Structure 1
Amino acid sequence: MILYFCLDKHGVVGQSLQIFLLNQLDFSTHQTFSKANLHRSQKQFQEIYQKLNKLLQKKHYKNLHDKYAICPIDSTIITLTSKLLWVLGHHQVKLFSSLNLATGSPEENLINFGNDHDYKFGSKMIANLSTDAVGVMDRGFAKLKFIQEIVQEKKYFVLRIKNNCQLEFEEPSGLIKVGLSSDAPAYRVIYFSDIETKIEFRLVTNSPGSVSATVNDDDIGEIYRLHWGVELLWKFLKMHLKLDKLITKNVNGITIQIYVSLIAYLILQKLSITEQWGHTLLDKFRYLQSCICQKISYVHWFEEMMLC
């Protein structure tokens, strides 16, 4: 039913209608979504998400230079408005995701209730990236200790650092020391400027920069620009799949609803529709909504889906 809520354009009205129809069909229920998900296990939702992700990974996708998979990593904030959650000290929930731009699917997700800085969760996100992936991160992850951890994990990254960060050119290697410490590690640092906004971008990376390297400075700038892809993910999840319209008032239920929104997103990625309806995620979403609206309830819709 939560999946139906994510895909249903009628929102809360549709939710009330489905509960009414369930009672009429002898599926007696007096629970709200919040009560029903208070003690429900998250395991099955996580397993469904992982299986869908594996199905998307089976298809061959083109990587950058046929070698690197670009994976923007970022977080989005979902404000919690329930006073029941405020009493527990929760005013917001953060969803961290790494979006594989080759497959179009968020591969790794981390849900945190609190106000902790992004860099505290960076190690967990970067550790799960594949060996051919390049983690692309914004200034929220720019901590020297975190950068050192990425290098130790032997993962590729492109990270924007703050413009007031102390830098020192290292003559022999051609690399740049990042930080005030005398033994600060040196990295490859690329500068870019936006002429219109007059903003300077300082990007730190550990990708190879030799003459024979496949990733040059322009490529690094392009890789960072692709970070915007994860922002488009948040926009779609919130605007169409109700990520920020929480209908549960407990931590477990909110976590489940977030996973269901992500599952709905992967279903749209996997879904194939006739060409006349379009090919974008929004086209698939509208097509699915039109199919749902033809049925009196989600029970009938799922029955027909199972017979296909």
Structure 2
Amino acid sequence: MHIRKRLSGFLLGLGLAVAAAQAQQPLRIVVPFAAGGGTDQYARLLASELTKHGTQTIVENKPGASGIVAADSVARSKPDGTTLLMSSLSILASNTVMYDKLPYDPVKSFTPVTQIAYQPTIIVGRSDLPYKNIKEMVAYAKAHPDKINRGSPGASVLTNLAPLAFEGMAGIRTTHIPFNGDSPGLQALLGSQTDIQGTSITGPLQHVKAGKMRVLGVMDSKRLPQVPEAPTFKEQGYDIEALLWYALSAPAATPKDTVDKLNRAVNQVLVDPDFIARSQAIGMEPRGGTPQALADYVKAETQRWVPLLQRLDLPKQGQ
């Protein structure tokens, strides 16, 4: 009997220890790009602040196939509030056009948690190029067809779609070279393997400040505070705006109270003045909101960009 009591006590203690370990499991934000890029920098900044505010958070990079690798991983994760996807237009909308078949459903596989940031699409080029802005680049492209190699973080990412839309508007064509994230593409640009890249200011900012890259144009109604000398596309005669946005999505069956708790924790960080200042220093503008606000925004962006992709009639991508 004494042995039984000790065994029961041991098993009870073991069960409590397992439960405690599960309760202390950190929040994992899965980033669909390689480490070192702009989105990764922001995700790590957010994770650090969440940890400081009491929600232990880690970042896991799962690059590949325009976010499909990361999205599939999170869609298959336990809906217990410990795994979130850093989602974007490509994952939640444009991949449906770019790929014949997806291992996840952009609507049914996830539940929205909150928006976390936005920034305008820009085009950067090496500083040794024979053109210094978008207007000059268009003239060069028309005089030298198919001579410009353009990198992007992925085929269905906005930083490819927006430049594609612009090329159609300007009547030019570049050779698109997709990479698994922003950072590998920028490294290829530095190595002269590509000439220009659709991106955001976060990743190339250090290279722009060092004089190795130049911002050719900003797809926004105003110039960027980080590079005030860089003109907008509108200033150069092209009426196009394209905002990159980032959000957090959870596996579909995650309970509403868990989603609401995560939403409150993240939004608490997003309005912190110090966090806002540090985010803006790397080119990000924090923006939060409710789960419903994110769902409505994704729907509006889908209605804007998916028809463009369909009109372009691009070849389907493999996985």
If the length of structure 2 is used for normalisation, what is the TM-score?
0.21
Larger RCO (CA within 8 A; separation ≥ 6):
2
If the length of structure 1 is used for normalisation, what is the TM-score?
0.22
